[in-house]
């Protein structure tokens, strides 16, 4: 399979729906590639109080159970729910959960724009006010290109 095909597959398929665990591994691999020894973290740490549930979880930027009043473009976004561009990592899945995009970005300590999760640079470094299909596609392509480099596929 050519590397351009692999990138395309990562970017356009419902990667999380196909295999949530593999998606988590890819996101962690990508996140770790963007960190230095100074800001390393244990992405495999399990919660003491949650029966082995991981501390770091996959977060859907547009949530799986989005509230209509928070997402006026919900119907447009539903087909992109499990795409790479709509996924990230977080330690605060319960805090972010079903919130609107604006609310997920608002908190400078744990939000999507906090800078703590490096794979969120597309969100942090832009002035996105509303999460759209176009953002999911663009971010998905960007992440897929980066995954290809990290995995050294086709090199």
Q: What is the pLDDT of residues 87-114, one digit of tens each?
A: 999 988 888 888 999 999 988 888 898 8
Q: Over range 81-88, report the average pLDDT.
A: 96
In this predicted structure, the answer to whether residue 60 has a pLDDT above a threshold of 60 is yes
pTM of the predicted structure, to 2 decimals:
0.90
pLDDT (tens digit per residue) in 110-147: 889 888 899 999 998 878 999 999 999 999 999 999 98
Query: Domain limits at 115?
Result: 3-151
Residue 152 is predicted with a pLDDT of 77
Q: Which helix or strand (DSSP H or E) is residue 124 part of?
A: helix 121-124
Which residues are bridge partners to 57 per DSSP? 90
How many domains, the chain? Answer: 1
Which residues are bridge partners to 88 per DSSP? 59
């Amino acid at each position: 399979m050519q590397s351009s095909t692999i990138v395309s597959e990562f970017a356009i398929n419902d990667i999380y729906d196909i295999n949530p665990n593999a998606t988590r591994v890819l996101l962690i691999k990508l996140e770790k590639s963007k960190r230095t020894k100074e800001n390393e973290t244990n992405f495999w740490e399990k919660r003491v109080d949650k029966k082995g549930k991981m501390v770091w979880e996959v977060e859907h930027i547009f949530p799986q159970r989005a509230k209509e009043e928070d997402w006026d473009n919900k119907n447009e976004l539903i087909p992109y729910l499990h795409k790479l561009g709509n996924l990230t990592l977080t330690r605060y899945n319960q805090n972010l959960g079903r919130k609107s995009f604006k609310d997920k970005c608002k908190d400078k300590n744990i939000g999507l724009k906090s800078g703590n999760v490096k794979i969120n640079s597309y969100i942090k470094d832009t002035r996105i006010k509303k999460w759209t299909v176009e953002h999911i596609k663009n971010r998905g392509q960007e992440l897929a290109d980066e995954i290809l480099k990290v995995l050294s596929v086709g090199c």
